[in-house]
Amino acid sequence: MELDDQFRSYFGTSDLATLTPAALAAGTEHMRVAFGLEKDRNRRFALWTLMHMLGVAPDLDVAFAAPEDRDAARRFMEITERADQV
Domain tally, the chain: 1
CA separation (Å) from 85 to 36, 75, 76? 31, 16, 14
Interacting residues of 44 by C-beta distance below 8 A, sequence separation 6+: 35, 38
Report CA torsion sign: 23, 26, 29, 35: negative
> Residue 42 sits in which domain range?
3-85
Residue 2, pLDDT above cutoff 90: no
pTM of the model as a whole: 0.89
Q: What is the pLDDT of residues 28-78, one digit of tens each?
A: 999 999 999 999 999 999 999 999 999 999 999 999 999 999 999 999 999
Report CA torsion sign: 2, 10, 48, 85: positive
